[in-house]
Amino acid sequence: MRLLLVEDDRDLQRLLKKALGDAGYVVDTASDGEEGHFLGDTEPYDAVILDLGLPKLDGVRVLEKWRKAGRSMPVLILTARDRWSDKVAGFDAGADDYLAKPFYTEELLARVRALLRRAAGFATSEIEIGKLHIDTRTSRVTIDGNPVRLTSLEYRLLAYLAHHRGRVVSRTELVEHLYDQDFDRDSNTIEVFIGRLRKKLDAGLIQTVRGLGYCLEVPSADGKDRAEA
The secondary structure of residue 169, as a DSSP letter, is B
pLDDT at 24: 86
pLDDT at 228: 43
List, as own/partner pairs, every contact residues 66-72 make where C-beta atoms lie below 8 angstroms and the sequence separation is at least 24, other chains included: 66/37, 66/40, 66/41, 66/94, 67/93, 67/94, 69/41, 71/40, 71/41
Residues 72, 49: contact at Cβ < 8 Å? no
pLDDT at 182: 59
Please tell me the distance from the alpha carbon of residue 171 to that of residue 214, in angstroms, as a whole number: 8
Residue type for position 74:
P
pLDDT at 64: 95
Domain residue extents for the chain: 2-120, 126-216
pLDDT at 41: 94
CATH architecture for segment(s) 2-120: 3-Layer(aba) Sandwich (3.40)
pLDDT at 221: 55
Cβ burial 183-193 (10 Å sphere, 16+ → b, else e): eeeeeebbeeb
Per-residue pLDDT of the chain (229 residues; tens, 9 = 90+): 899 999 999 999 999 999 999 988 999 999 999 999 999 999 989 999 999 989 999 999 999 999 999 999 999 998 887 777 878 888 899 999 999 888 999 999 999 999 998 888 877 888 888 889 999 888 899 998 999 999 988 998 999 999 998 899 998 888 888 876 655 555 578 888 899 999 998 778 899 888 889 998 876 655 454 444 3
CATH architecture for segment(s) 126-216: Orthogonal Bundle (1.10)
The helix/strand/coil state of 129 is strand
